[in-house]
């Protein structure tokens, strides 16, 4: 009997490649999300420390208040960017999950076909052994 050959092997390879690409995309999206989150946290910490400071003069107080407004504006913008990055990361996770499921479906089919192939091999081996045993028994009977 010929060697086992999975007819959908090219599809399996393509789906494996697609899964690897999805994982890479997910990794990049996660990195961007984490960077944006860290930037937002640093800006938030700057705002908190700025709020704790007291201006030594009216001009210093005015500069502090203006700086607070700039930081609040930056935080709002960074918060939106962080949310968008989180959304992209979540989408990338979903694509990775779908790609993994698609690959696993084909792998399960391959395993099932391989099990059927092994079953056929065992059946053929048993048939050959039975035929040999029958032939040997017939020879013994004809000689004896």
> DSSP secondary structure string, the chain?
-PPP--TTHHHHHHHHHHHHHHHHHHHHHHHHHHHHHHHHHHHHHHHHHHHH---SSHHHHHHHHHHHHHHHHHHHHHHHHHHHHHHHHHHHHHHHHHHHHHHHHHHHHHHHHHHHHHHHHHHHHHHHHHHHHHHHHHHHHHH-
Residue-wise pLDDT tens digits, 110-128: 999 999 999 999 999 999 9
pLDDT at residue 104 tops 80:
yes
Question: Helix 58-143 crosses helix 9-52 at what angle (to 10 degrees)?
Answer: 160
Average pLDDT over residues 17-43: 97
pLDDT at residue 97 tops 90:
yes
CA-to-CA distance for 76 and 83, rounded, in angstroms?
A: 11
Q: Tell me the percentage of the chain whose pLDDT exceeds 90.
A: 79
Locate 66 and state its tokens: 């203006």
How would residue 34 be classed by pLDDT, with cut points 50, 70 and 90? very high
CA-to-CA distance for 15 and 101, rounded, in angstroms?
A: 10
Query: What's the pTM value of the predicted model, to 2 decimals?
Result: 0.76
- HSE of 59 in the Cβ direction (CA atoms, 13 Å)? 0
């Amino acid at each position: 009997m010929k060697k086992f050959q999975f007819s959908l092997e090219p599809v399996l390879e393509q789906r494996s490649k697609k899964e690897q690409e999805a994982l890479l995309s997910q990794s990049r999206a996660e990195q961007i999300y984490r960077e944006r989150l860290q930037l937002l946290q640093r800006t938030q910490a700057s705002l908190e420390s700025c709020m704790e400071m007291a201006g030594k003069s009216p001009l210093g107080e005015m500069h502090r208040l203006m700086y607070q407004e700039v930081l609040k504006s930056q935080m709002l913008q960074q918060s939106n960017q962080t949310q968008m990055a989180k959304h992209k990361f979540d989408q990338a996770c979903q694509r990775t999950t779908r790609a993994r499921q698609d690959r696993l479906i084909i792998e399960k089919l391959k395993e099932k076909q391989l099990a059927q192939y092994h079953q056929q091999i065992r059946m053929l081996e048993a048939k050959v052994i039975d035929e040999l045993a029958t032939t040997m028994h017939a020879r013994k009977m004809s000689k004896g």
